[in-house]
Amino acid sequence: MPAPITTLTAIRQKVRRITRSPSLASLSDDDLDQYINTFVVYDFPEQLRTFNLRKAFTFVCNPFQSEYRTDDQLPVVNQLFDFQNRYVSVHPPLYIAGYQGQLSQSREQFFGLYPIFNSIQTIGVMGDGATMTFTGTINSSQTIPGNLTQLIALLQGQVMFDSIGTNGEGLAMVDAPVIDAGTGFNTNNGNLYIPGNLPAIPPTVVLPNNTINYVTGVFTVTFPTAPADQAPINSQTSPQALSIPRSMLYHNNTITIRPVPDQPYRINFEVYANPTALLDADESPSLNEWWQYIAYGASKKIFEDRMDSESVQQIMPEFEQQRLLCNRRTIVQNANTRAATIYSQYDQDGSFNQQSWWGGWNGPF
* Ordered mean pLDDT values, 10 residues apiece, the chain (365 residues): 83 96 92 95 88 91 96 92 92 96 95 93 94 89 52 93 95 97 96 94 95 95 96 95 95 95 96 91 90 96 96 95 87 68 50 43 44
In the β-sheet with 87-96, what is the strand arrangement from edge to edge?
54-60, 266-273, 87-96, 99-104, 247-251, 254-258, 67-69
Instruction: Give the residue ranges of DSSP H helices in the chain.
Output: 8-19, 29-38, 44-47, 83-86, 107-113, 291-305, 309-334, 354-357
Euclidean distance between CA atoms 360 and 349, whole angstroms: 19
- The answer on 153 and 53 residing in a single domain is no
- The answer on 96 and 138 residing in a single domain is no
Number of domains in the chain: 2
For residues 10-30, one letter each, b for 16 or more C-beta atoms within 10 angstroms of the residue's C-beta and e for the rest, the string is: bbbebbbebbebeeeeebeee
> What pLDDT, on the 0 to 100 scale, is given for residue 256?
97
Strands (E), the chain: 54-60, 67-69, 87-96, 99-104, 119-126, 133-137, 143-144, 147-154, 160-164, 170-179, 186-193, 211-213, 218-222, 232-237, 239-241, 247-251, 254-258, 266-273
Q: Is 357 contained in some domain?
A: no
> What pLDDT, on the 0 to 100 scale, is given for residue 337?
66
> What pLDDT, on the 0 to 100 scale, is given for residue 2?
67
- The answer on 142 and 89 residing in a single domain is no
- The answer on 293 and 228 residing in a single domain is no
Euclidean distance between CA atoms 65 and 242, whole angstroms: 10
Residues 6+ apart with CB under 8 A from 167: none
pTM of the model: 0.81
> What pLDDT, on the 0 to 100 scale, is given for residue 350?
45
> What pLDDT, on the 0 to 100 scale, is given for residue 52?
82
Q: Is 49 contained in some domain?
A: yes
Q: Is 172 contained in some domain?
A: yes
| Cβ atoms of residues 178 and 203 within 8 Å | yes
Residues 6+ apart with CB under 8 A from 331: none
- The answer on 165 and 125 residing in a single domain is yes
Q: What are phi and psi of 100, to 5 degrees?
A: -75, 130
- The answer on 206 and 136 residing in a single domain is yes
Q: Is 66 helix (H, G, I), strand (E, B) or coil?
A: coil
Q: Is 364 helix (H, G, I), strand (E, B) or coil?
A: coil
- The answer on 17 and 98 residing in a single domain is yes
List the one residue out of 106, 204, 111 whose CA is nearest residue 158.
Answer: 111
> Which neighbouring-strand residues pair with 346?
352
- The answer on 225 and 176 residing in a single domain is yes
Domain carrying residue 279 = 8-106+269-334
> What pLDDT, on the 0 to 100 scale, is given for residue 354?
43
Q: Is 305 contained in some domain?
A: yes
| Cβ atoms of residues 239 and 95 within 8 Å | no
| Torsion over CA: 182, 186, 191, 195 (sign) | positive
Q: Is 161 contained in some domain?
A: yes
Give the type of residue at 115: P
> What pLDDT, on the 0 to 100 scale, is given for residue 159?
97
- The answer on 225 and 132 residing in a single domain is yes
**114-to-246, 258, 271 alpha-carbon distances in Å:** 11, 7, 24
- The answer on 201 and 158 residing in a single domain is yes
The one-character DSSP state at 43 is I
> What pLDDT, on the 0 to 100 scale, is given for residue 363?
45
